[in-house]
A = this chain, B = another copy of it.
């Protein structure tokens, strides 16, 4: 039943050889991997204006130079990540770049902070989308958490079906959103050119603003940089592209950069020109759209696609997280299970982990994840800075043809991202200090995992020069509960595999002990029966003591000890409840605590 439900939800399993068909073309990749970055256009301008509004309306013209600053950073990032894609076409992005050029720990810091970041992306963007839905239908408000979880589950299932299929479903909303905003910008500018927008709505650029400080401007710039989250996703997911993967990925990245630049600058410019101030109850994009188009069909189209893309931004996390986890796992810093491709060739364990973790976050914060946004921005700028620095080291070390301009691009990027990071820590320390606690913890865990795998590998290595001791004999212990067919069958098997067979009976009082000894003598005088008495009505302790005694003798003679545990396999599942599960407990106890082999002899009930 479970397996047919699984089939229905995620589809038939795919052969490993069908992997190529699951890869993404440029257009689909753009949809899947840029939804996170593009969705930030919906709130980037607003973040800048929010900081400036603490001074007042007069300061709003600063949004234009700040937007240009963000644009420069965007160009630097795109150029830099383009170089990363060509240099490291196997994906892994900031993690691989930092590890290769700066060392293991910077790599792990970049990787760890990106992993956490993708979880935050999913939680934050799905919560934002849910808010949009509950704003439209206020009766749904009490079910916020439930709706958000349903959305995460839906996206998780889509991704388990395979990236190609999820790309087909998710491409439309992304393109519709781009279309909607491009329309908004063109018509908005058209109105301005036509002179339909009075220039009194805004203060001219260059107006002196009393009370403005550099600190405040930097803070506004840092807030605006939240529009750049998600830019790194493509570099992590290069292996998902159709061949030639690196080239396709680089082209997609540039395409995304151009769209992002146009949308972000366009929205910021229009917001400035139309004199829009941030309001608690209405977003900047919504105000802009209603001024440009009025509250008609086009307005609702823009609002609808915006809500949709906020939810879909989560999907970027689902594309990038499993590949990053794969990279960390193949370097033995994360559990091996992230290496395995699922039925539909995606790294299912990574997808499921991401889904569960973000659901936990949504539950923990009761769907109010806005407070996590600053954390999320920091989590992006740490790997940004590390990867740019890594590229600088690479250019200086390798000095390939034409390395100077490449170095300059990365140097510029590194300086800006480092500055943004410093601004974050200076201006928003109270909201982001926890990064300083959990990042070292994550890196510590990575190292613990690595140490364990190394230790295991060493212990498992076969020494070709040392011939292992030959086993001279096998002692088989059969715990029996009475004289039944199960016992009969187990004893036969024990005699077939063992050189010495011993039945053990644990009695709770003297009478039943004597009775059993009597009966046994008549039934199987050929098998030695050891009877033990347990006044505490406990099976495990007396059997485990007996096993100790036998084991120490067996070891001297180079014999192995096998404990045969008979187990009922009832016809119906609920019947298990009617049988003592002490055999299960005994098996686990002996397996974990004693040096014996535990064999389960099934006895199938037919009725």
Give the contacts of A569-599 with B (CB-CB under 8 A). 569-570, 575, 577-580, 587, 591-592, 595-599
Check if B537 sits within 8 Å of A16, measured CB to CB.
Answer: yes
The DSSP consensus for interface residues of chain A is mixed
Instruction: Mark the stretch among A211-219, A235-243, A316-324, A457-465 that contacts chain B.
Output: A457-465
Q: Report if A459-B471 is in contact (Cβ < 8 Å); known contacts: A498-B497, A575-B452, A580-B337.
A: no
B contact residues around A341 at 8 Å (CB): 537
CB distance B474 to A489 under 8 Å?
Answer: no
Set of chain B residues within 8 Å of A595, measured between Cβ atoms: 602, 604
A348 CB, nearest partner CB in chain B, Å: 10
Q: What chain B residues lie within 8 Å of A579 (beta carbons)?
A: 336
Report whether A462 and B485 are in contact in the complex, using a CB–CB cutoff of 8 Å. yes
Bound CA–CA A492/B472 (angstroms): 10
Q: Is A600 an interface residue (CB 8 A)?
A: yes
Give residues 444-458 of A contacting B (CB, 8 Å): 449, 452-453, 455-456, 458
Pairwise interchain contact A16-B509, C-beta atoms closer than 8 A: yes
Given contacts A16-B535, A599-B599, contact A488 B468 (CB under 8 A): yes
Q: Could you tell me which residues of chain A, from 548 to 580, have a CB within 8 Å of some CB in chain B? A: 560, 562, 567-570, 575, 577-580
Partner of A484, one of B343, B455, B460: B460
B contact residues around A497 at 8 Å (CB):
474, 497-498, 562
- Interface contact B474-A462, CB-CB below 8 Å: no
Interface check A357, CB cutoff 8 A: no
- A486: chain B residues within 8 A (beta carbon): 460
By a CB distance below 8 angstroms, the chain B residues around A455 are: 605, 607
A535 vs B496: C-alpha distance when bound (angstroms): 37
* A364 at interface, CB cutoff 8 A: no
Select from chain B the residue with minimum beta-carbon distance to A572: B452
Q: Mark A9-25, 1 if CB is under 8 A from B, else 0.
A: 00001111100000000
Q: What are the nearest 6 A-B pairs in CB distance?
A: A460-B484, A455-B607, A497-B497, A599-B599, A15-B535, A471-B496
Binding site for B on A (CB under 8 A): 13-17, 335-337, 340-343, 449, 452-453, 455-456, 458-462, 464, 468, 470-471, 473-474, 483-486, 488-489, 492-493, 495-498, 508-509, 523, 535-538, 560, 562, 567-570, 575, 577-580, 587, 591-592, 595-602, 604-607
